[in-house]
Amino acid sequence: MLLIGLIISIVGYFFLSPSYTLSRKAQKAYEQQDFQKAYEFSAQALKKDRYNKSAFQIHNQSKQRINIQNFLKRAKKDFEDALTILKKSKLNPQELLELQWIYDDFLAHYNNLFFTNKPTEQEKKAIEEYFNWFKQLKNKLLEAKEKMNLAKDSQSLQILK
């Protein structure tokens, strides 16, 4: 009888505990792909019980999803900003520098992404496509810089003659 009471108390704790109630809400939000809400519910659950393993797991998974979504939004913006500049028929040194900054911004966020996150196959494909596009951009920037240096050296030689 005492054992049954103890089991009921333990089960009741996990179903009625505010931390575990929030954890279940976080799980539901995560399943509905509302990662921000899942993150917030799991954070609240962890404030109430920092040993709530379910909340801890959902908290980490939600944060990973949010990081990837934020990265993809930022990569899209960098891509669009670069395309806006590249639409011009001729680029000046300032625009080439802006493209370099856009590339550097993309690369910094790309490098930070994979230390903590595990993208889905669809996300992985999108990330790889952005990476390949920006890699090509970097190669074109290097070519442009070389041409500018050659042109500068050629002008310097003409001045010396």
Tell me the DSSP string of the chain.
-HHHHHHHHHHHHHHH-HHHHHHHHHHHHHHTT-HHHHHHHHHHHHHH-TT-HHHHHHHHHHHHHHHHHHHHHHHHHHHHHHHHHHTSSS--HHHHHHHHHHHHHHHHHHHHHHHH----HHHHHHHHHHHHHHHHHHHHHHHHHHHHHHHHHHHHHHHH-
pLDDT at residue 119, as a whole number? 82
In this prediction the pTM is: 0.76
- pLDDT (0 to 100) of residue 41: 94
Two tokens, residue 26: 């976080």
Residue among 3, 44, 9 nearest 23 (CA): 44
pLDDT tens column, 90-137: 888 898 899 999 999 999 999 888 656 678 889 889 999 999 999 999
Query: What is the per-residue pLDDT for 115?
Result: 58
pLDDT in tens, the chain (161 residues): 555 554 555 555 555 588 888 999 999 999 999 999 999 999 999 999 999 999 999 999 999 999 999 999 999 999 999 999 999 888 888 988 999 999 999 999 998 886 566 788 898 899 999 999 999 999 998 888 887 776 665 554 443 34
Between the alpha carbon of residue 118 and those of residues 30, 41, 64, 66, 124, the distances in Å are 15, 21, 7, 11, 9
Q: How many domains does the chain have?
A: 1
Q: Please give the pLDDT value at position 160.
A: 35
pLDDT value for 159: 38
Domain encompassing residue 14: 2-160
Predicted pLDDT of residue 158: 44
CA-based torsion, 100, 106, 109, 112: positive or negative = negative
Residue 14 pLDDT: 53
Residue 161 pLDDT: 40
